[in-house]
Amino acid sequence: MMRACLLVMLLTLLYGCGERIERFSGPTMGSTYSIQYVPAAQTPDSQQVKAEVETILEALDQQFSNWRGDSVVSRFNALPAGTCQAVPEEMQQLLVYGQLLFRESGGAFDLTVLPLMNLWGFGPQSRGRQVPDASALARERSRVGLQHVRLDGEKLCKDVAAQLDFDSMLAGYAVDRVGDRLSALGIQAYLVEITGELKGVGRKPDGSPWRIALEVPSGGREQQVERAIALDGYGVATAGDYRNYFEEGGQRYSHTFDPRVGRPVKHALAAVSVVDPSVLRADALDTLLMVLGPEEGYAFAERHDVAAYFIMHQGLGFVARATPRFESLFPSQGKTGQ
C-alpha cells in the first residue's frame, strides 16, 4: 500500500561521530523502513534484530494491506453487506480506536473512506484520477461511514458493502510494535522510521538525542528547515497534501478526503505533524487534523491537548502555527532557518 508522500519531510540529523550505531533498512507497506539503534552487550546480532523487525512488518502486511488480495482486510472488504468475518485481535483494537476518533471528530476521521479514494483515483482499485459524476459519488458515499461497521465478539460485521482502510494509523502502530520489540531485545536507544512515521528513544553513544527536522516545502528543489526537535520517548507522524493530488478544470484535488462530504479537502492546511509517545495516536491524529483543517483542526488539537505543528498555504509560501502542547515540549528557540 503506497502511502502518500509527506509534505513536511522528517529527516534525521547528526549521527554520533565515530560511535557505533547499527543501521538497517528495507521495503515495507509499499514504501520503506529504517532502523538505527545502539547495541548493548546482551543485544542479539543485527541480522537477528532485522529478522525480528521484518517478521512484525510482514504479519501486519498480511492483516492490513489493501494492495494484496489475500490479506485479512481485503477479504473483509470483498464481502457483501450483512456479513461478518472473524478478525485478529490487533485489527479489533485498531478498529475500536478508529471508532473513538470517528465519534470525537464528528465523522472527519473514518476508516471506511476507501471507496471514495478508489472513485477519485487515489486507491488500490482506482481507474485513473478524475472528478466523479454526482451519481457515482452518491453511490459510493452510501457505503462510507464507520457506523456501518461493528464488532460482534471476534467477528467484524457490516450492514452495507463497507470497505476498511487502516493506512491512516497502521504505520504509526507498526512503529510502536517494532519499538516494543527492540526494547524487549534489550535495546535501550533507537530511532525507528516506517513510511515516514518515526519514534526516538534514549540517546546516541555520544549522549546526544535523536534529532529530526520538520521541513517546509519551498516549491523548489530545496527545503527550508522550519523546526529541529529532539526526541526521547516521543514519536512524530505527518500528513500533507503537497505531492499526492491531481488537477482538473483549474481545480486542485488532494488525496486527503473529508468523508463527511465525500470530496477532497479544500482548506489551506498544507501539512500537520503530531508528536506523541504513542505513534499510533500521532499517526491517526495527523489525518484527523488534516481533514478538519487549519481552524477546526487547531481547535480540536488545543481542546484535546495534542502537540501539533500546522503548516498552511499562504500566497506562494507557507506559514506555521504550533499548539501550546507542542510549544511546551519544543520551545521556539529550537526553530532554525538553516
Whole-prediction pTM: 0.87
Angle (deg, nearest 10), helices 279-292 and 89-104? 40
For the stretch 48-63, pLDDT in tens is 999 999 999 999 999 9
Name the more confident of 88 and 314: 88
Query: Cell numbers at residue 103, please?
Result: 465519534
Question: What is the per-residue pLDDT for 1?
Answer: 38
The whole-chain average pLDDT of the chain stands at 85
Q: Which of 100-104, 110-114, 119-123, 227-231 has the lowest mean pLDDT?
A: 119-123
Calpha distance 77→163 (Å, rounded) = 5
Beta bridge partners of 217: 223
Calpha distance 7→244 (Å, rounded) = 9
For the stretch 184-213, pLDDT in tens is 999 999 999 999 999 999 999 999 999 998
Question: What is the per-residue pLDDT for 187?
Answer: 96
Cβ–Cβ under 8 Å, residues 275 and 326 = yes
Name the more confident of 101 and 131: 101
User: Cell 488534516 sits at which residue?
Assistant: 290
Name the more confident of 268 and 91: 91
Residues 64-74 as b/e (b if ≥16 CB within 10 A, e otherwise) read bbbeeeebbbb
Is residue 4's pLDDT more than 70? no
Is residue 131's pLDDT more than 80? no
Name the more confident of 303 and 129: 303
Beta bridge partners of 213: 11, 228
**Is CATH 1.10.3980.10 correct for 68-167?**
yes
Contacts of residue 114, defined as CB under 8 A and 6 or more positions apart, other chains included, come to 66, 77, 123, 163, 164, 165
In single-letter form, the type of residue at position 235 comes to G
User: Cell 502511502 sits at which residue?
Assistant: 3
Question: What is the per-residue pLDDT for 140?
Answer: 82
